[in-house]
Amino acid sequence: MNSSDTYLVTGGCGFIGSSFILLCRKNNKADIVNLDALTYAGNPLNLAELQNDSHYHFHKGDIGDKELVASLLEQYKPDAIVNFAAESHVDRSIFGPEDFMKTNIMGTFHLLQVSLDYWERHCKNNPGKRFRFLHVSTDEVYGSLGSDDPPFQETTPYSPNSPYSASKAASDHLVRAYVHTFGFPGAITNCSNNYGPRQFPEKLIPLMILNAREGKPLPVYGDGMNVRDWIFVNDHCEAILSVLDKGTPGETYNIGGNCEKPNIEIVRAITGVMDELFPDSPHVPHSSLIHFVKDRPGHDRRYAVDCSKITRELGWKPSMTFEQGLNHTVQWYMDNPQWVGSVRSGDYLKWLEKNYEKRS
């Protein structure tokens, strides 16, 4: 794809979507139309630096609003749709799964339906129009691994365990079905845990960074030995670009950071960075703030991703080490207090209190 392309990005005011849009605009990769419903997780401040960019267009709305999506497709005639829009927090899916079903399943369905119609009318029989629909998904659809199991491959059977991962699995199946049934040029990426700037502070890494700075407890679920494969968000976005550019329609690509770590190790790494950055803080050593809380129900034990297919076929691999990525992330949260203030509403604080009940 070249710089005259236009991408319709959904959920572009969220954590990963905003990083993707900033990357595209920085490299003049494509004009961007961002459709975002601005839920609690969508923050227009994430893209404030694009306010005078004439190649960036924002529309507030729901991916399930067929009339709106159809009119955007007619207006902009995008070369690709990149679907980030989702309810994305596992804990919230346990307390209130309905929004997850609405957006992740029905929203994706409506988006697919309207995109199929657009593709059939404008692209299918037009050799000059190389259209792609990229559905951004998660490694959580594969379920949980035992400590000696091999990492997830694209052929690993789906076995989702939370309402969040079940809703994402359902949306992946829908994309797959549209490819198989209609020849629709959809592709799916299943990525591991992301971290980096602009992540909503309900997620592990930003929550720990901000709590450590403020001398608040650092709540760690269970025994802290749940393992995740961590990837810096820009590496994920680069992988998505390589799938858009070189990927084969109908294929699934796993994306991971080759960086498996238990949660407690992540939290200790954060406290180490905070000790170095703030040696005079009254909270040194910040590790003394760690406390273990009641485990999340159904908490998957281990995720690990085999991303050799995307490396082999498309030449992508993660470029940031965990240490580099974490230092960069901590620094970003320290440098952006205005952003942090803007996302921490009273509702958010109540949510934290409810979720991280102390272990008895």
Ligand X SMILES: NC(=O)c1ccc[n+]([C@@H]2O[C@H](COP(=O)([O-])OP(=O)(O)OC[C@H]3O[C@@H](n4cnc5c(N)ncnc54)[C@H](O)[C@@H]3O)[C@@H](O)[C@H]2O)c1
- The catalytic residue positions are 139-140, 164
58/184 with CB nearer ligand X: 58
The least distance separating ligand X from the CB of residue 180, rounded to whole angstroms, comes to 21
Return the residue of 138, 161, 242, 263 that touches ligand X, per CB under 6 A.
138
Q: Which is nearer to ligand X, 107 or 185 (CB)?
A: 107
Under 8 Å CB-to-CB from 308, ≥6 apart: which residues? none
* Residues in 117-136 that interact with ligand X by CB under 6 A: 136
The contacts of residue 75 (CB under 8 Å, 6+ apart) are none
> Applying CB under 6 A, does 107 fall inside the site for ligand X?
yes
Residue from 118, 200, 221, 356 touching ligand X (CB under 6 A): that is 200
Judged by CB under 6 A, the residue of 1, 23, 38, 210 near ligand X is 38
The stretch near ligand X (CB under 6 A) out of 5-13, 299-307, 324-332, 340-348 is 5-13
Q: Does 252 bind ligand X (CB under 6 A)?
A: no
**Which one among 41, 50, 187, 209 touches ligand X, defined by CB under 6 A?**
41
15 binds ligand X (CB under 6 A): yes
Residue 13 within binding range of ligand X, rule CB under 6 A: yes
Structure tokens at 190: 């299943």
Among 115, 162, 193, 355, indicate the residue that binds ligand X (CB under 6 A): 193
Residue 357 DSSP one-character state: P
Give me the residue whose beta carbon is nearest to ligand X: 14
**Measured torsion, CA atoms of residues 240, 180, 158, 113, in degrees rounded to the nearest 10:** 70
In the complex with ligand X, which residue's Cβ is closer, 229 or 283? Answer: 229
Cβ partners under 8 Å of residue 102, min gap 6: 64
Residue 71 interacts with ligand X (CB under 6 A): yes or no: no
Residue 80, φ and ψ in degrees, nearest 5: -155, 150
Beta-bridge partners for 310: none
Binding flag, residue 219, ligand X (CB under 6 A): no
Taking CB under 6 A as the rule, does residue 289 contact ligand X?
Answer: no
- Scanning the chain, the segments in alpha helix (DSSP H) are 15-26, 66-76, 90-95, 98-100, 108-122, 163-182, 204-214, 233-246, 263-277, 308-314, 322-335, 337-343, 346-355
Q: Are 252 and 319 in contact (CB under 8 A)?
A: no
User: How many DSSP H helices and E strands does the chain contain?
Assistant: 13, 12
**Binding-site string for ligand X from residue 44 to residue 63, where x marks contact by CB under 6 A and - marks none:** ------------------xx
* Residue 131 and residue 168 in contact, taking contact as beta carbons nearer than 8 Å: no
Residues that bind ligand X (CB under 6 A): 10-11, 13-17, 35-39, 41-42, 62-64, 84-86, 88, 103, 107, 136-138, 168, 191, 193-194, 200
